[in-house]
Structure 1
């Protein structure tokens, strides 16, 4: 099969198309013919080697966690899903023509494969980090980097739960942030002073690692009320770094429910052919994303 691999850590250019052996579904897994794969910041951080000290991987290696496609192999012990059904979920090495998923749900009707590939990890992350900061109905959550995939999910899920949200984003994304039910402001110089008059900040999330942690700490007054998914220096300030984890089946079920009720929509900002994964990574690293980027297979 055709797949994207990297043989050394480095920039987007190390990601190359190769012919690779097809994976197969093990117990409790399914294999899909991939139609689309979601591009996450975690993917290019793996490619750069940011996690190699704590989670070394043998090279060459594949990349990608999220995908949508059609089931073509069902592992031992799997029930309730059949070959030929459209699904979306999370697995490993999803930048490929075939991928094995460990968690999945049926693709909601009316959702394209490209759109579906953008949901799994961002919804799981959004639900988990809202829980980690303990923000409750009627309280106010500050979201730094609010226009990206995780931000889009956080804003809508928090709004649906009755949480007030303030979102910082680039100037071009202010209307988009407002459309998701949040108060919007820009994250350039002076952002802390612009946020402060908007009211008490009960909790804060850093989604893009733009050096904002000290400002978030200043606004909340408590490191336990701040979580980052992007700044590896967080422990130095007593702030939690939230990596990949949590209950993906629960998150996928929540996504299906929210989508069905019209409470969650994450747009695809741009799609790329599988072989242009390096360009997708370069664009993702440049920031200013609205919604998601996906690879089409």
Structure 2
């Protein structure tokens, strides 16, 4: 099959098309003919340099954490899915390819495009996990840093569905997008503490940072301490005694709920660009700008 690989760490240009062996579904896996693969920040991290604390990769590496496609091979221990079914899930062994494997997946209903479904696995897992960690309840006020990003927009919607009030930070051009999610938008940057206090005179009950943009000191000031603040992106968390949540808790049931909600229109996600698989280097360069406008998706 054809896949995107890299054989050394470096800039996006190290990504290129290559012929690699077809993956085979393991006992608890299905193999899909990929219709869409999403680009995530982690893909850029592992491509650009060795990751401290991780075992060195075996080159060539096929990147990609999220895939959607049509099942064409089913492992012996898998039930409830058959060849021809459409699924979306977390890729095992890379998703930037014509074929990919997954062991945590959900069925994709008719009418939901693969390019939309593939926006869900990573962002929905992170949003669900962090809201559980924060214990956000109806009637509370949640501050979301980066409410227009892929994790932020889902966390915002899930919190609003719980009955919480959400104040979401975003760039000036994304204020309307955040408001459409059901949140109260506010710009990030200097003066944030004063702006949030004006919007929430009684204070905020919890804070989610998806940006890693140095907002934890402001978050601590708004909370009056470090309790109920979680970041998924700021390495300064340990020094500030703020919780850093990074361990994925992949659950097929949670993913199925998110897929169903997206298909019903109860959740929305944003696709910033859909590019051919061969343009993976351009896709990575777009994500590296920090302003892709939504999830960047590759299609074989």
What TM-score range do you get, normalising by the shorter chain? over 0.9
Task: Give unmatched runs, 5+ long, in structure 2.
Answer: none
Greater CA drift, 216-225 or 94-103? 216-225
Aligned to 1:83: 83
- 1:1-297 equivalence runs, <5 A: 1-49=1-49, 51-92=51-92, 93-199=94-200, 200-297=203-300
Greater CA drift, 35-44 or 226-235? 226-235
- Structure 1 distance, partners of 2:60, 2:236, is 28
- Are the structure 2 counterparts of residues 51 and 243 from structure 1 closer, same or farther at C-alpha, using a change threshold of 3 Å? farther
TM-score (norm 2): 0.94
* Partner-residue secondary structure (3-state), 1:23: coil
Residue 249 of structure 1: CA displacement? 0.7
* Partner-residue secondary structure (3-state), 1:33: strand
Q: Is the 8 A contact 1:141 1:201 kept in 2?
A: yes
1:202-230 CA deviation, whole Å, 9 max, x = no partner? 11111121121211122122323111111
Task: Give unmatched runs, 5+ long, in structure 1.
Answer: none
1:254-279 CA deviation, whole Å, 9 max, x = no partner? 21332244311112121111111122
Greater CA drift, 8-17 or 110-119? 8-17
* Partner-residue secondary structure (3-state), 2:156: helix
Residue 291 of structure 1: CA displacement? 3.2
- Are the structure 2 counterparts of residues 137 and 193 from structure 1 closer, same or farther at C-alpha, using a change threshold of 3 Å? same
* Partner-residue secondary structure (3-state), 1:223: coil
Backbone CA RMSD of aligned residues: 1.6
Residue 50 of structure 1: CA displacement? 6.3
- Structure 2 distance, partners of 1:279, 1:64, is 15
- Structure 1 distance, partners of 2:235, 2:63, is 20
- Structure 1 distance, partners of 2:50, 2:167, is 30
1:152-186 CA deviation, whole Å, 9 max, x = no partner? 11111111111110110111100000000000011
1:105-159 CA deviation, whole Å, 9 max, x = no partner? 1112221111111111111111001111222111111111111111111111111
- Are the structure 2 counterparts of residues 162 and 175 from structure 1 closer, same or farther at C-alpha, using a change threshold of 3 Å? same
How many residue pairs get aligned? The number is: 297
* Partner-residue secondary structure (3-state), 1:231: coil
Residue 47 of structure 1: CA displacement? 1.6
- Are the structure 2 counterparts of residues 144 and 293 from structure 1 closer, same or farther at C-alpha, using a change threshold of 3 Å? same
Residue 195 of structure 1: CA displacement? 1.4
TM-score (norm 1): 0.95
Q: Is the 8 A contact 1:27 1:75 kept in 2?
A: yes
Greater CA drift, 204-213 or 174-183? 204-213
Q: Is the 8 A contact 2:124 2:151 kept in 1?
A: yes
- Structure 1 distance, partners of 2:180, 2:8, is 41
Q: Is the 8 A contact 1:38 1:295 kept in 2?
A: yes
